[in-house]
Amino acid sequence: MDKLKKQMDFLTTVEEMKRIYRQSILEDNGRIRRENDAEHSWHICMYALVLQEYAPKGTDIFKCIKMLLLHDLVEIYAGDTYLYDEKANSDKREREENAAQRLYSVLGEQGEKLKALWHEFDEGKTIEAQFANACDRLQPIILNYRSKGEKWKENNIHISQVIEKGSWKTRNVDEKVRQFVFDLLNECVEKGYLLP
pLDDT in tens, 17-42: 999 999 999 888 888 899 999 999 99
For residue range 100-156, list pLDDT tens digits in order.
999 999 999 999 999 999 999 999 999 999 999 999 999 999 999 999 999 999 999
pTM, two decimal places: 0.93
What pLDDT is attached to residue 18?
97
Evaluate whether residue 196 is within a structural domain. Answer: no
Evaluate whether residue 125 is within a structural domain. Answer: yes
pLDDT at 1 over 70: no
Please state, in angstroms and rounded to a whole number, the distance separating the CA atoms of residues 12 and 8.
6
Is 152 in contact with 112 (CB distance < 8 Å)?
no
CA atoms lying within 13 Å on the CB side of residue 190:
6
Closest CA to 150 of 34, 21, 2, 44: 34
State which residues form the domain around 157.
Answer: 3-191
Evaluate whether residue 26 is within a structural domain. Answer: yes
Please give the biggest Cα pair distance in the chain: 58
Element (H, E) at 147: none
Q: How many domains does the chain have?
A: 1
For residue range 70-103, list pLDDT tens digits in order.
999 999 999 999 999 889 889 999 999 999 999 9
Tell me, what CATH number does 117's domain have? Answer: 1.10.3210.10
CA 100 to chain centre: 16
